[in-house]
Amino acid sequence: MKQNKSQPKLKKTSRQVIEDGKVFKGIKNEETVHVRDKILSSVIDSMSDGLAVHELLYDKYGKAVDYILTEVNISFEKITGLKRDEIIGKPASEVYSVKKAPYLDIYSQVESSGDPATFETFFPPMKKYFSVSVFSPGKGKFATVFQDITERRIMEETLRESEKKYRELILHAPSGIYEVDFRTRMFTTVNDSMCLLTGYPREELLSMTAFEILDEAGRMAFQVRINKWLSGEKPDENVEYNVRAKDGHIICALLNVKFKTDKEGIPIGALVVAHDITERKKTVLALRESEDRFRTIAETIPALVCITRLEDSTVMFTNEYNNKAFGLKGEDIIGTIGPDYYCDPEDRLKMINLFSEKGFVDNYQLKVKKSDGSPFWIITSVRPIIYNNQPAIIGASIDITEYKKIEEELKKSEQLYRAIGESIDYGVWVCEPGGRNIYASESYLKLVGLTQEQCSSFGWGDSLHPDDADRTIAAWKECARTGGKWDIEHRFKGVDGKWHPILARGIPIRDEEGNITAWAGINLDIANLKLAEDRLMQTQEKLSVILENSNIGTWDWDLKSGEITIHEGARQILGIEPDKSVKTQEEFESLLHEEDIYHVQKAFNRTIEQGSPLDTIFRLKSDNRFISFKASLIKSNNKTPLLISGICFDVSDIKKSSEETLVKLSEELLRSNKELENFAYVASHDLQEPLRMVSSFTQLLAHHYKDKLDDRAQEYIYFAVDGAKRMYDLLNGLLAYSRIHTKGKAFIQVDVNRVMTNVIKNLALNINERGAVIKMDEMPVISADETQMIQLFQNLIANSIKFSPGFPKIYISSKLEEDQYIFSVKDEGIGIESQYFDKIFQIFQRLLPKEQYEGTGIGLAMCKRIIERHGGRIWVESEPGVGSTFYFTIPKNNEV
**CB of 844 vs ligand ADP, minimal distance in Å:** 8
**CB of 838 vs ligand ADP, minimal distance in Å:** 11
Does residue 73 bind ligand ADP (CB under 6 A)? no
Does residue 780 bind ligand ADP (CB under 6 A)? no
Does residue 55 bind ligand ADP (CB under 6 A)? no
Q: What share of the chain is helix, strand, coil (3-state, %, to 5)?
A: 45, 30, 30
Does residue 830 bind ligand ADP (CB under 6 A)? yes
Q: The dihedral of CA 829, 830, 835, 839: what is its sign?
A: negative
Does residue 827 bind ligand ADP (CB under 6 A)? yes
Alpha carbons 342 and 373: distance in angstroms, whole number: 10
Strands 809-817 and 773-776: parallel
Task: Give whichever of 397 and 795 is closer to ligand ADP, judged by the CB atom.
Answer: 795
Q: How far is CA 482 from CA 183, 436, 514, in A?
A: 99, 15, 13
**CB of 809 vs ligand ADP, minimal distance in Å:** 12
Task: Give whichever of 270 and 874 is closer to ligand ADP, judged by the CB atom.
Answer: 874
For residue 566, which of 577, 579, 553 has the smallest C-alpha distance? 553
Helix orientation angle between 786-802 and 859-869, rounded to the nearest 10 degrees: 150
Q: Which of residues 367-386 bind ligand ADP (CB under 6 A)?
A: none
Task: Give whichever of 732 and 845 is closer to ligand ADP, judged by the CB atom.
Answer: 845
Residue 635 contacts residue 611 (beta carbons within 8 Å): yes
Q: How far is CA 406 from the centre of its chain?
A: 13
Task: Give whichever of 607 and 795 is closer to ligand ADP, judged by the CB atom.
Answer: 795
Alpha carbons 552 and 649: distance in angstroms, whole number: 5
Does residue 840 bind ligand ADP (CB under 6 A)? yes
**CB of 876 vs ligand ADP, minimal distance in Å:** 8
Does residue 789 bind ligand ADP (CB under 6 A)? no
Alpha carbons 76 and 16: distance in angstroms, whole number: 18
Does residue 800 bind ligand ADP (CB under 6 A)? yes
- Identify the residue among 714, 848, 868, 879 touching ligand ADP (CB under 6 A): 848
Task: Give whichever of 307 and 862 is closer to ligand ADP, judged by the CB atom.
Answer: 862
Query: Quick one: which segment of 33-41, 141-149, 350-358, 823-831 binds ligand ADP (CB under 6 A)?
Result: 823-831
For residue 177, which of 202, 152, 156 has the smallest C-alpha distance? 202
Does residue 859 bind ligand ADP (CB under 6 A)? yes
Does residue 319 bind ligand ADP (CB under 6 A)? no
Query: Quick one: which segment of 149-157, 635-643, 740-748, 798-806 binds ligand ADP (CB under 6 A)?
Result: 798-806
Query: Quick one: which segment of 88-96, 111-119, 659-667, 843-851 binds ligand ADP (CB under 6 A)?
Result: 843-851
**CB of 852 vs ligand ADP, minimal distance in Å:** 9
Residue 756 contacts residue 723 (beta carbons within 8 Å): no
Q: Which of residues 683-712 bind ligand ADP (CB under 6 A)?
A: none
Q: What is the DSSP letter of 486?
A: E
- Identify the residue among 259, 884, 888, 890 touching ligand ADP (CB under 6 A): 884
**CB of 708 vs ligand ADP, minimal distance in Å:** 38
Does residue 866 bind ligand ADP (CB under 6 A)? no
Task: Give whichever of 486 and 886 is closer to ligand ADP, judged by the CB atom.
Answer: 886
Residue 382 contacts residue 395 (beta carbons within 8 Å): yes
**CB of 725 vs ligand ADP, minimal distance in Å:** 15
- Identify the residue among 76, 317, 803, 823 touching ligand ADP (CB under 6 A): 803
Question: Which residues make Cβ contacts (< 8 Å) with residue 313, sequence separation at least 6?
Answer: 337
- Identify the residue among 647, 860, 867, 874 touching ligand ADP (CB under 6 A): 860
- Identify the residue among 463, 791, 856, 889 touching ligand ADP (CB under 6 A): 856
Residue 464 contacts residue 458 (beta carbons within 8 Å): no
Does residue 846 bind ligand ADP (CB under 6 A)? yes
Task: Give 49-109 as a DSSP string.
Answer: SEEEEEEEEE-TTS-EEEEEEEEE-HHHHHHH---HHHHTTSBHHHHTT-SS-TTHHHHHH
Q: How far is CA 453 from the centre of its chain?
A: 42
Task: Give whichever of 393 and 858 is closer to ligand ADP, judged by the CB atom.
Answer: 858
For residue 124, which of 97, 144, 151 has the smallest C-alpha distance? 97
Taking the chain, what is the end-to-end CA distance rounded to the nearest angstrom?
A: 176
Residue 65 contacts residue 57 (beta carbons within 8 Å): yes
- Identify the residue among 117, 469, 507, 847 touching ligand ADP (CB under 6 A): 847
**CB of 729 vs ligand ADP, minimal distance in Å:** 9
Does residue 740 bind ligand ADP (CB under 6 A)? no
Query: Quick one: which segment of 179-187, 438-446, 678-686, 792-800 binds ligand ADP (CB under 6 A)?
Result: 792-800
Task: Give whichever of 73 and 856 is closer to ligand ADP, judged by the CB atom.
Answer: 856
Does residue 794 bind ligand ADP (CB under 6 A)? no
Alpha carbons 66 and 62: distance in angstroms, whole number: 12
Q: State the number of binding residues for ligand ADP (CB under 6 A).
A: 21
**CB of 849 vs ligand ADP, minimal distance in Å:** 10
Task: Give whichever of 774 and 860 is closer to ligand ADP, judged by the CB atom.
Answer: 860
Query: Quick one: which segment of 125-133, 270-278, 295-303, 822-830 binds ligand ADP (CB under 6 A)?
Result: 822-830
Does residue 791 bind ligand ADP (CB under 6 A)? no
Task: Give whichever of 222 and 823 is closer to ligand ADP, judged by the CB atom.
Answer: 823
Alpha carbons 596 and 766: distance in angstroms, whole number: 53
Does residue 829 bind ligand ADP (CB under 6 A)? yes
Task: Give whichever of 362 and 838 is closer to ligand ADP, judged by the CB atom.
Answer: 838
- Identify the residue among 483, 494, 857, 871 touching ligand ADP (CB under 6 A): 857
Alpha carbons 761 and 774: distance in angstroms, whole number: 12
Q: What is the DSSP letter of 10?
A: P
Grouping H, G, I as helix, E, B as strand and the rest as coil, residue 562 is coil
Does residue 350 bind ligand ADP (CB under 6 A)? no
**CB of 811 vs ligand ADP, minimal distance in Å:** 12
For residue 140, which of 115, 167, 110, 180 has the smallest C-alpha distance? 110
- Identify the residue among 138, 501, 855, 872 touching ligand ADP (CB under 6 A): 855
Alpha carbons 835 and 315: distance in angstroms, whole number: 82
Does residue 882 bind ligand ADP (CB under 6 A)? no
Phi, psi of 884 (to 5 degrees): -130, 150
Does residue 322 bind ligand ADP (CB under 6 A)? no
**CB of 739 vs ligand ADP, minimal distance in Å:** 17
Alpha carbons 413 and 311: distance in angstroms, whole number: 46
Task: Give 343-407 as a DSSP string.
Answer: SSHHHHHHHHHHHHHHSSEEEEEEEEE-TTS-EEEEEEEEEEEEETTEEEEEEEEEE-HHHHHHH
Task: Give whichever of 319 and 799 is closer to ligand ADP, judged by the CB atom.
Answer: 799
Exposure letters 542-579 (e unless 16+ CB within 10 A, then b): eeeeebeeeebbbbbbebeeeebebeebbbebbebeee
**CB of 684 vs ligand ADP, minimal distance in Å:** 16
Grouping H, G, I as helix, E, B as strand and the rest as coil, residue 437 is strand
Phi, psi of 245 (to 5 degrees): -75, 170
**CB of 756 vs ligand ADP, minimal distance in Å:** 17
Query: Quick one: which segment of 67-75, 504-512, 525-533, 827-835 binds ligand ADP (CB under 6 A)?
Result: 827-835
Grouping H, G, I as helix, E, B as strand and the rest as coil, residue 475 is helix
Does residue 463 bind ligand ADP (CB under 6 A)? no
Kind and range of the H or E run holding 507:
strand 499-510
- Binding residues for ligand ADP, rule: CB under 6 A, are 795, 799-800, 803, 827, 829-830, 832, 840, 845-848, 855-861, 884
